[in-house]
Amino acid sequence: MPHVLQHVLFPLERDPDILPLYADPETWTTIRKQPVQVSSEAHVNDILSRTSYRIRKGQRVSFASYFNAFPAAYWQRWTVVDAVRLTLRTSGPGTVIVYRSNAQGVQQRVDSTAVEGTQEIGFDLPVQAFGDGGWYWFDVVAGDTDVIIEGGDWSTGVDPVRTGRTSLGITTFNKPDYCVQTLATLAGADEVLAEIDTIYVVDQGDQKVADRPEFPDARDRLGEQLRIVDQPNLGGSGGFSRAMTETIDAGRSDFLLLLDDDVEIEPESIYRSVQFSRFCRKPTIVGSHMFDLLDKPILHAFSETVDLLYFVWRSALPKQMRHDFRRSNLRQTPWMHQRLDPDYNGWWMCMIPTEVIREIGLSIPVFIKWDDAEYALRAREHGYGTVSLPGSALWHVSWVDKDDSQDWQAYYHARNRLLSGLLHSPHPKSGKLLSNSGRIDLKHLLTMQYYAATLRHRAIRDLLKGPEHLHRTMATTMPELRAATADFVETQLITKAEDMPSTWEGKRLFPEDFDTEPRGPRLALFTLKAAARHWRTPVPQGNIDRPQVELAKADAAWWRVPAYDSVLISNADGRGKSVYRRDRTTFRRLWKESRELHRELEKNWDRLAQEYRAALPEFTSPEAWRRTFTSQQ
């Protein structure tokens, strides 16, 4: 009996913005006349249902798209599947053409067949020559009348390695509207629900999911498959660890799918993640991609890596960031045809086999930041790989309009990056991690972000205390960090126009090509001059009483702000502005502190690495996490 791996499908809502993710608009052209590109809005009405689509007479539509092409290279590399069958149910006269690509994105015709009337057609396709990359897809060309795709799927006759069910773990903090919408979407996805054992909603906020007026309907439709778990706010790592604990204690699931709360799901992506996980040769972490919820055709994350020398996360390819499918679909994007194997996948949507959880433990107890990356690095050390599966994705509120490296989250950025380095860096004395961390401190200080620098120093002090601080401070650190904002002028957001201070020099604008980030010898000279100025030069009283200049967020680059004594800068989401004011005494104190703390951490690095690595199995164990859950009740 064939096993369906993925369905041919179309958007739940007839949204013209996301139609390019399901069909390629650049082939919506007439055949007998001069080809012209047709806008996607003209074809929204051709979506007849979730599984059916109309190709109007004389037109050609390609389904070389994110959600309807088949990522053959990933199935070849990671699974036991060596052949797939494309099945299409059509009505009307026309032609179906099957294509494949190689790792360079070169298109190759594989097969074709004429269709007419109502019929089912199939193409048997080997999954054996996609070592470095490549996809399968199909085009449909309509004849003298419309052709309707009534339905279709990609399937295999190979049996899966595993057949167990999946549980879902959704962690939420005061995002009840998003969460209830996710539950409602799941309640309407019968094929997905058939694969799910339990949906755990770990609610850590004071705006409860269960209090939303839409919740009772979703609860009644999901029935016993839904379980709400209330607990104090322990961050993403605490919420997801609770879902891991509940799942392994229940003992009924082979997989746990972690889902963020501020998302919009494509239910088919869950189905595909389950199928891919079942067919993997060995237990594998299967992650999904992230599109921008506020700009839906924008791909925000495709394949993530960790640079082990600097121990910093980044995209595998710079050009994958913010890729716009309206401008360049699958066939027009050669890099997307490479098979990219990530170091980790974000926990906005990530499937973890319960076998892996039982062997390597739960998340590190770090509240937020680096929990997902560290977990995948730990899994790799145990022999378990990570896949970011094309064709499986959700829409998530992106961090384009955020700059959490300078708010209370600066603590977690610093501590958890250093902690992950202690646990997994292959380099003595951290490689270049500590020197880079010191430079980040100096950037914060030169741009008058004294609050962020202060939190980063607290992070190092906490890390020097050893592993025992991790669980003990889980619930208390974040409130303390937020309370500390009262002591720093740059953390005070001015939102009312009447409270906005005027500046001596007005608003300064910088043309795009005005200057560039200093690098190499120029960077060394810039740093020397800027640091000397902030160390030696007193701040005139006039620039204390009133900001010297106003800068837009985009213009407030780290190499521009140090030239001023005080700056009025917009925040990332545009809700208001803050005053950044130079303070020579604070600069001197924090820079000395930074150098001393980094020297101490470097001196003790190898010892601390041994301590944290030895303690890792204990502080990621279900038993340790259960004690934390119990202590917070």
Average pLDDT over residues 397-418: 90
| Rounded average pLDDT over 121-149 | 97
Residues pairing with 62 in the sheet: 24, 139
pLDDT at 39 over 50: no
pLDDT(84) > 90:
yes
- Residue 513, pLDDT above cutoff 80: no
pLDDT in tens, 300-310: 999 999 999 99
- The yes-or-no verdict on residue 401 having pLDDT over 80 is no
Q: What is the pLDDT of residue 12?
A: 78
Low-confidence winner among 125-129, 520-524, 599-603 (lowest mean pLDDT): 520-524
Q: What is the pLDDT of residue 38?
A: 45
Task: For residues 605 and 428, give the distance between their C-alpha atoms in angstroms, rounded to a whole number.
Answer: 8
pLDDT digits (tens, 9 = 90+) for 324-355: 999 999 999 999 999 999 999 999 999 999 99
CA distance 326 to 262: 24
Name the percent of the chain lying above pLDDT 90: 90
pLDDT at 31 over 60: no
User: Rounded to an integer, what distance in angstroms lies between the CA atom of residue 462 and that of residue 193?
Assistant: 44
Within its chain, how far is the Cα of 151 from the centroid? 31
The pLDDT of residue 25: 63
Q: Is-contact 86 98, C-beta < 8 A? A: yes
What pLDDT digit, counting tens, does each position of 440-475 carry? 999 999 999 999 999 999 999 999 999 999 999 999
Cβ-based neighbour number of residue 86 at 10 Å: 22
* Confidence label for 230 from pLDDT (cuts 50, 70 and 90): very high
Q: Which two tokens stand for residue 472?
A: 């003990």
Average pLDDT over residues 237-251: 98
Instruction: Indicate which residues carry an active-site annotation.
Output: 372
- The chain-wide mean pLDDT, for the chain, equals 94
pTM of the full structure = 0.95
Kindly list the distances between the CA atom of residue 633 and the CA atoms of 113, 232, 380, 473, in Å, as whole numbers in the listed order: 64, 7, 34, 15
pLDDT category of residue 26 using cuts at 50, 70 and 90 = low
Residue 318 has pLDDT above 90, yes or no: no
DSSP secondary structure of 495-548? --GGGPPP-SS-EE---TTS-----HHHHHHHHHHHHHHHHHPPPPHHHHHS-S
Q: Is the pLDDT of residue 42 over 70?
A: no
Amino acid 399: pLDDT: 79
Q: Is residue 82 scored above 60 in pLDDT?
A: yes
User: Of all residues in the chain, what percent are helix, strand and coil, respectively (each to 5)?
Assistant: 40, 25, 35
pLDDT of residue 32: 43
Could you tell me if 221 and 189 are in contact, meaning their C-beta atoms sit under 8 angstroms apart?
Answer: no
Confidence check: pLDDT of 27 > 70:
no
Kindly report which listed range (158-167, 213-222, 243-252, 510-519) carries the lowest average pLDDT score. 510-519
